[in-house]
Chains A and B, each alone.
Chain A
Amino acid sequence: MERPQNSVVRTPPNSTAVQRRSKSKSYRQSYRSCLGAASRLGLTPGLTARRLNSSRRALKSHIITEKVNPDHLALLVKREWRLSYITPLHQFRHTQLKRYSRQLSAFIAAEKQQGVAVEVEGSQSGFRVSFSVVQGLAATDDDAETVLIQIFSRPVFAKQDEPQKSVWSGWLTCINGNPEYLQSLPKGFTSLPLFGGSGAEVLTSLVKSWFQQTFDCCFGPLEINHTSLQWLAALWTNCHTESNLQHLKMIWTLPVVPPLQITYTINPQDAWELWMSVRKDRLEKTEDEEEAGSIDIEEVMRFVQGLKSHFYRHFRLDLSAGNLNQVSTALGSAKFSGKIKISNSRYMITTLTLLTECALLKMPV
């Protein structure tokens, strides 16, 4: 396929542009059309009612330590990742990872030559890049396998056995992605819509540039909006009986002068009892285990509303006037700016499913 001469890659504003690339007649549906939403022309969907439309979410704690390499898991948990969304990658092969490692390594070296400041530490270190597949995370057959990227610094005068220091790591993943959408992708495209990076910002942007050049994709910042943050608060609270939450902490900012930050930390047992009381009606009515395992958005809303009204009773301040910036528990923490930390591997699948959905919804195509 022909690459554009300039290095600027723009996401096609509507799906007809995509049609040009693929050989097949049918063209890829935009994600929103899969949901039955109308707009194909709009660059941004204005369909706030349809955001995160799966209001039912099956909840399972997955013991994934058996399925996934524990070394990989150790790299993924307890670290804070900055999230982005990625449009589908063209001609990405999971079998070519060694070649990609060499190419990215060379790319970073070339950029360094050109004067991009990639010194992380030491003036003479080179970089060694390693791409690997994290087997076992993909939840369905449609999900592409998660790819993990690590960049090690390679000091010029390193001894043979010296352990190499990892200066940057990142991953691309798709967990429980919408099957209709994934199946409608034309041949040659792989969708790994969620990207997380941790390390020097310079390296993150270099990795992104390389991906954009090599696979004709587009990156964009992914914020975790307040609905998703509330989902995470509820999902994590739901797990209190299995793994101790230690606390449920939510941070709001009120738009006054000077800005006021409110940190609301709730005892985990009390938070859990409130959550259970909200779920009680639902659980009593249904016998079906499948139903009982899934959570509705209304329950999440009522849970958070309960917390807000308790706050209001004492302080006469409605937290809805502010912005929810952060939710954190012992199981993980999530920030509005798009940073996530998963502290317990058990809930990784659930959390990543939610984030994959956010990424797919945020993508402009």
Chain B
Amino acid sequence: MDDSARRLLQRLIRRIPAQMLKPTLDKWDRLTAAHRQSMDFTESKWALTEKLLAICEENEMTVKHITELEMIHVIENPDHSMWYALQLVDPEDDAHSVELTQFKEQFKSHLRELIRHVSIKIKKHTDEAVWIRIAWGDSFSRPNHLKPTYVVHHLQTPYVFVTSLTSKLKPLLSQALVLSTRYQAIKDASLSGRKLTAIRDLLMRQYQQVFPTKYPSSLVENNQNASNILINKEQAELAASRHQKACEAFGDGMLPQLQSAVYKLETKFRDHTNKTMTEREEAFRCVVKFASTNLLESLRHCASSGISSTPGTSLLSSIPLKGRNYFVITDNGPGPSSQTRQPPN
């Protein structure tokens, strides 16, 4: 077992939390029953690392095997780095019929054409997602397994999620993806976050959406403060309608755990009490960042508690609507990666 494999294994064991170690190793399935019994999982991490290194040496395991283990761990725990969403655009005629083996072959061969030394591992997860692990080298050096890029693509959808990708290597990956999925181009979806499940659910609308109804009695407001019946009756209707509008804008039940949203505003300042600024030609530049442990829930609560009015017309409802969390707002027509919106006065 060479040096790089040893280092990779050491780093990996350090990353995996103690309680996850046994299940992950079991899933890996490369240790014999005897080996597994010989490992005492109550020992310290350091002792376990040494033991595991010894076992892998004995069995002459290579980097290939270790990367398998890493991939298993990352698929179970994807929330440790920042994920960025990309979207494939302009499908060719046969884009929708691309299936797994075809995609795998095409992706590997295209990427290998673009860059000589690269190590690719593709695995299909149970929930229709294809996971790709890429270790990049270049014309002179072997692939660097310590800084791999992970890509998740759901076949039959135009969505791709990427983590740990440098801007230098992005065009190569984009090219390979476009060719192997039979689309014409790929663009940045302006959505990023730490929790892969959250941004995936948001983008693919996999949360409980609420559609406007004329008779909103289906959503019941859970307000049990029965202090005064008349006041409650009056307020209950208002509260219910606010709650309904809030859910229409942001969804019902458990919402994807998005953590932040950034708006870059470049609109004109318009305030009837301030004539000077309203007459000003240039835009009033500012950046607003919303942050919370669960952003969409905070926003929904703002709407249902009345702190924000008319949530449907605000820019905030664009987050679930468009599945993005980075916006550039200008007064004028659409720019390349900008979202246009003329705020009502």
Residues of A within 8 A of B345 (CB): 313
| A256 and B286 alpha carbons, distance in the complex (Å) | 24
B311 and A316 contact, CB distance less than 8 A: yes
Q: Interface with B: A204-212, A270-278, A285-293, which one?
A: A270-278
Q: Which of A262, A263, A273 contacts B277 (CB 8 A)?
A: A273
B276 contacts A by Cβ under 8 Å? yes
Contact bitstring B303-317, A, C-beta under 8 A = 1, else 0:
001011111011110
Which chain A positions have C-beta within 8 A of B277? 273-274, 277, 306
Q: Is B284 an interface residue (CB 8 A)?
A: yes
- Judged by a CB distance under 8 angstroms, whether B183 is at the interface is no
Q: Known: A260-B302, A262-B290, A310-B269. Contact between A315 and B308, CB under 8 A?
A: yes
**1/0 per position for B272-307, CB-CB distance to A under 8 A?**
011011001010111111111111011101100101
Complex contacts, B308 vs chain A, CB 8 Å: 315-318
Bound state CA distance, A250 and B286, in angstroms? 11
Q: Are A259 and B309 in contact, with the CB atoms below 8 A?
A: no
Given A263-B291, A265-B288, A277-B276, A317 contacting B302 (CB threshold 8 A): yes
- How far, in whole Å, are A266 and B276 apart by their CA atoms in the complex? 18
- CB contacts (< 8 Å) of A264 on chain B: these are 286, 288
Within 8 A of A (CB), among B155-169: none
The answer to whether A256 touches B343 (Cβ under 8 A) is no
* B286 contact from A254, A266, A280, Cβ within 8 A: A266
- Does residue A267 face the partner (Cβ distance < 8 Å to B)? yes
A311 surroundings in chain B (CB, below 8 A): 288
Cα A315 to Cα B289 in complex, Å, equals 12
Contacts of A254 in B (CB 8 A): 298, 302, 307
Residues of A within 8 A of B315 (CB): 314-315
Is B270's beta carbon under 8 Å from chain A? yes
B53 at interface, CB cutoff 8 A: no
CA distance A233 to B269 in the complex (A): 19
Q: Are B292 and A267 in contact (CB under 8 A)?
A: no
Closest chain-A Cβ to B340's Cβ sits at a distance in Å of 13
Q: A151 to B276: give the CA distance in the assembly, Å.
A: 52
Q: With the chains together, A261 CA to B290 CA distance in Å?
A: 6
CA distance A103 to B294 in the complex (A): 52
Does B26 interact with chain A (Cβ within 8 Å)? no
Residues of A near B284 (CB, < 8 A) are 266-267, 270, 274, 310
Give the distance in Å from the alpha carbon of A315 to the alpha carbon of B315 in the complex: 5
Given the complex, which residues of B lie within 8 Å of A270, measured CB to CB?
269, 282, 284-286
Q: How many positions in chain A have a CB within 8 Å of any CB in the partner chain?
A: 31
Q: Do the beta carbons of A265 and B287 come within 8 Å of each other?
A: yes
Contact A266 B285 (CB under 8 A): yes
Q: Which residues of A contact B311 (CB under 8 A)?
A: 316
Most buried by B among A277, A311, A316: A316
**What residues of chain B lie closer than 8 Å to A318, measured between beta carbons?**
307-308
Give per-residue flags for B235-277: 1 if the beta carbon is below 8 A from chain A beta carbons, else 0.
Answer: 0000000000000000000000000000101010111011011
A122 an interface residue at 8 Å Cβ cutoff?
Answer: no
Selected contact of B280 from candidates A262, A273, A280, CB within 8 Å: A273
Task: Give min CB distance, B196 to chain A, whole Å.
Answer: 20
CA A168 to CA B89, docked complex, whole Å:
59
Q: Is B85 an interface residue (CB 8 A)?
A: no
Q: How far is the CA of A277 from the CA of B280 in the complex (A)?
A: 10
Q: Are A257 and B297 in contact (CB under 8 A)?
A: yes
A274 contact set on B, CB distance < 8 A: 269, 274, 277, 284
Q: Point out the residues of chain A lying under 8 angstroms from B276, CB to CB.
A: 277, 280
Q: Name the A residues within 8 Å of B293 (CB-CB).
A: 258
In the complex, the answer to whether A263 meets B297 with C-beta atoms within 8 Å is no
Cα-based distance from A257 to B301 in the complex (angstroms): 7
CA separation between A274 and B292, bound complex, in Å?
Answer: 29
Alpha-carbon distance A26/B214, docked complex (angstroms): 75
A184 to B156: give the CA distance in the assembly, Å: 81
A49 interfacial contact with B, CB 8 Å: no
Also in contact, A256 and B285, with CB within 8 A (given A274-B277, A314-B315): no
Instruction: Indicate if the CB atoms of B298 and A259 lie closer than 8 Å.
Output: yes
Shortest Cβ distance from residue A272 to the other chain B in the assembled complex, whole angstroms: 12
Q: How far is the CA of A277 from the CA of B297 in the complex (A)?
A: 38
Nearest CB in chain B to that of A319: its residue: B307
In the complex, A302→B307 CA distance in Å?
Answer: 21
- Whether B314 contacts A310 by the Cβ 8 Å rule is no
Q: Which of A297-321 contact B (CB under 8 A)?
A: 302, 306, 309-311, 313-318, 321
> Using Cβ atoms and an 8 Å threshold, which residues of chain B touch A267?
284-286
Closest Cβ–Cβ distance, residue A162 to chain B (whole Å): 36
Contact of A321 among B273, B307, B343 (CB under 8 A): B307
Which 10 residue pairs are nearest across A and B when measured between Cβ atoms?
A: A277-B276, A316-B314, A267-B285, A260-B298, A256-B301, A263-B289, A266-B286, A317-B308, A321-B307, A265-B287
Please, could you name 12 A-B residue pairs with CB atoms under 8 Å apart, sorted by A? A257-B297, A261-B291, A262-B290, A263-B289, A265-B286, A270-B284, A270-B286, A274-B274, A306-B274, A314-B314, A314-B315, A315-B308
List the interface of chain B (C-beta within 8 A of A): 263, 265, 267, 269-271, 273-274, 276-277, 280, 282, 284-295, 297-299, 301-302, 305, 307-311, 313-316, 329, 343, 345
Q: A314-B343, A317-B308 are in contact. List 8 more A-B contacts (CB 8 A).
A: A262-B291, A263-B289, A274-B284, A280-B276, A309-B271, A314-B263, A314-B314, A317-B316
